[in-house]
C-alpha cells in the first residue's frame, strides 16, 4: 500500500484496525523483555541503582522529541501537500507527546534530587524541555479553540513549524551552554560512552517505548478520523433539520 493510497482515511482505518492488535502485542513483549533486562542490569559505580531511572527517563525524553518531529512532518503535510491525514496525525500525536514530555520532566526531577541535590534547575536542557511541554499544551488548546478543522489545521501547522526550532535547541543545549545536564552519551560522534551492560537495557526500553508511541499514535489517529466523521454527520443532520 503506497503513501498516496493511505491518504484515503477509509483505507487507513482498515490498515490501522489490522495493525493495532499486533503492535499492542509486540509492545507488551518488548516492555516485558526490557524490564527483565533492567532488573538484571548492574548498578552504576557513581549513581548506584538510581541509574535505573535512566532506562525510562531517556526513552521518554527521546520520544518527547520524536512525537514533535512527527508533528513537524505532519505540519508540512498540511501546509505543502494538503494531505488529508496530516492534521489528523499531528493532532493525535500532541497528547501523547505531551505525556512523554511530562514523564521526562518528572523522572528527570526524581533522578536530579538524589544525584544533583535538586529537583529543578533553570538550565538550558531542562528549560528547553519545559518549553516543549508548554508548546504541546498550547497546540492542544489551539486545536480545541478553533472549531473549523481546516482553519485549526493551518494555524496549528504554522505554530508547530515555528516551535520546531526548539528541537535542535533541546538536542544541542548541553553543547552550546554550560549546563548541569550531562552531554549526549548515546547519539554522539565517536559512539556511545555507556557500557554495553547498560546500553542494552536502555536500547530495549527505547524500543518498547517507541512501539508504545507507534501503537498509541495509530489508535489516536483512528479515533480522530472517527471524531471528524461524527462531526461531519452532525453538521449534515443540523443542515437537514433547518
Given the rule CB under 8 A, which residues bind another protein?
9-10, 13-14, 17, 39, 43, 48-50, 52-53, 56-57, 60, 95-96, 99-100, 102-103, 106-107, 110-111, 113-114, 212, 216, 219-220, 222-223, 225-227, 229-230, 232-234, 236-237
Q: How far is the CB of 52 from another protein (least distance, A)?
A: 5
Q: How far is the CB of 100 from another protein (least distance, A)?
A: 7
Considering the complex, state which of residue 72 and residue 103 has its C-beta at the smaller distance from another protein: 103
Considering the complex, state which of residue 162 and residue 233 has its C-beta at the smaller distance from another protein: 233
Cell of 62: 527521546
Considering the complex, state which of residue 158 and residue 226 has its C-beta at the smaller distance from another protein: 226
Considering the complex, state which of residue 87 and residue 157 has its C-beta at the smaller distance from another protein: 87
Q: How many residues does the chain have?
A: 242
Considering the complex, state which of residue 96 and residue 157 has its C-beta at the smaller distance from another protein: 96
Q: How far is the CB of 223 from another protein (least distance, A)?
A: 5
HEC readout, the chain: CCHHHHCCHHHHHHHHHHHHHHHHHHHHHHHHHHHHHHHHCCCECCCEHHHHHHHHHHHHHHHHHHHHHHHHHHHHHHHHHCCCCHHHHHHHHHHHHHHHHHHHHHHHHHHHHHHHCCCCCCCHHHHHHHHHHHHHHHHHHHHHHCCCHHHHHHHHHHHHHHHCCHHHHHHHHHHHCCCCCCCCCCCCCCCCCCCHHHHHHHHHHHHHHHHHHHHHHHHHHHHHHHHHHHHHHHHHHHHHHC
Q: How far is the CB of 168 from another protein (least distance, A)?
A: 26
Q: How far is the CB of 10 from another protein (least distance, A)?
A: 3
Q: How far is the CB of 22 from another protein (least distance, A)?
A: 15
Considering the complex, state which of residue 96 and residue 156 has its C-beta at the smaller distance from another protein: 96
Distant-in-sequence, close-in-space partners of 134: CB < 8 Å, separation ≥ 6: none
Amino acid at each position: 500500500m503506497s503513501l498516496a493510497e493511505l491518504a484515503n482515511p477509509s483505507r487507513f482505518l482498515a490498515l490501522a484496525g489490522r495493525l493495532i492488535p499486533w503492535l499492542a502485542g509486540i509492545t507488551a513483549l518488548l516492555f516485558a523483555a526490557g524490564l527483565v533486562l533492567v532488573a538484571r542490569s548492574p548498578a552504576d559505580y557513581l549513581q548506584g541503582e538510581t541509574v535505573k531511572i535512566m532506562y525510562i527517563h531517556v526513552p521518554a525524553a527521546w520520544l518527547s522529541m520524536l512525537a514533535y518531529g512527527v508533528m513537524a512532518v505532519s505540519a508540512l503535510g498540511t501546509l505543502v501537500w494538503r494531505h488529508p491525514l496530516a492534521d489528523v496525525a499531528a493532532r493525535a500525536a500532541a497528547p501523547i507527546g505531551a505525556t512523554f514530555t511530562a514523564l521526562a520532566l518528572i523522572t528527570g526531577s526524581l533522578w536530579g534530587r538524589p544525584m544533583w541535590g535538586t529537583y529543578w534547575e533553570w538550565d538550558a536542557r531542562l528549560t528547553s524541555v519545559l518549553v516543549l511541554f508548554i508548546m504541546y499544551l498550547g497546540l492542544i488548546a489551539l486545536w480545541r479553540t478553533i472549531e473549523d478543522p481546516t482553519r485549526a489545521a493551518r494555524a496549528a501547522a504554522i505554530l508547530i513549524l515555528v516551535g520546531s526550532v526548539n528541537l535542535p535547541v533541546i538536542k544541542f543545549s548541553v553543547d552550546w551552554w554550560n549546563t548541569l545536564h550531562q552531554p549526549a552519551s548515546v547519539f554522539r560522534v565517536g559512539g556511545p560512552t555507556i557500557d554495553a551492560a547498560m546500553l542494552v537495557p536502555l536500547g530495549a526500553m527505547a524500543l518498547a517505548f517507541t512501539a508504545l508511541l507507534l501503537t498509541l499514535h495509530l489508535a489516536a489517529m483512528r479515533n480522530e478520523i472517527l471524531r471528524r466523521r461524527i462531526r461531519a454527520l452532525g453538521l449534515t443532520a443540523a443542515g437537514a433539520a433547518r
